[in-house]
Amino acid sequence: MKITERVLADMCSRINKDQLKLWDSGLKVERRGEEYVVLRLFRKPQKGRSGSLDIFRGSPREVKSFIEGFVNAAGIANNGAAGGARIAERCYGSVE
């Protein structure tokens, strides 16, 4: 299957609405010349800080693999945060 810019943009859109929904940033893909760049876009940029950060450059296939890996890591981080709260609740009672 050919990986197009549209496929990569759709992946980022789905990820931003699902796994990264509660994060302070999302992902975006831009084409720059012959390569693609994955950007981390901050939802509420801080004063004096850029609103985006280039986090990966590569071919369409490499970018797709990077995004899939990022999603897996985000899922682990999201579940780890929730798991940590459940463990604390079991050990110490309600954590509020």
Read off the pLDDT of residues 8-23 as tens digits, 9 standing for 90 and up: 999 999 999 998 998 9
pLDDT of residue 27: 96
Within-domain flag for 51: yes
Within-domain flag for 96: no
Residue 80 predicted with pLDDT over 90 = no
Segment 36-50, tens digit of pLDDT? 999 999 988 778 778
Within-domain flag for 27: yes
Within-domain flag for 18: yes
Residue 71 predicted with pLDDT over 80 = yes
Domain of 49 in residue numbering reads as 5-91
Q: What's the domain count of the chain?
A: 1
Within-domain flag for 81: yes
Give the pLDDT band of residue 95 (cuts 50, 70, 90): very low
First to last CA, the chain: 49
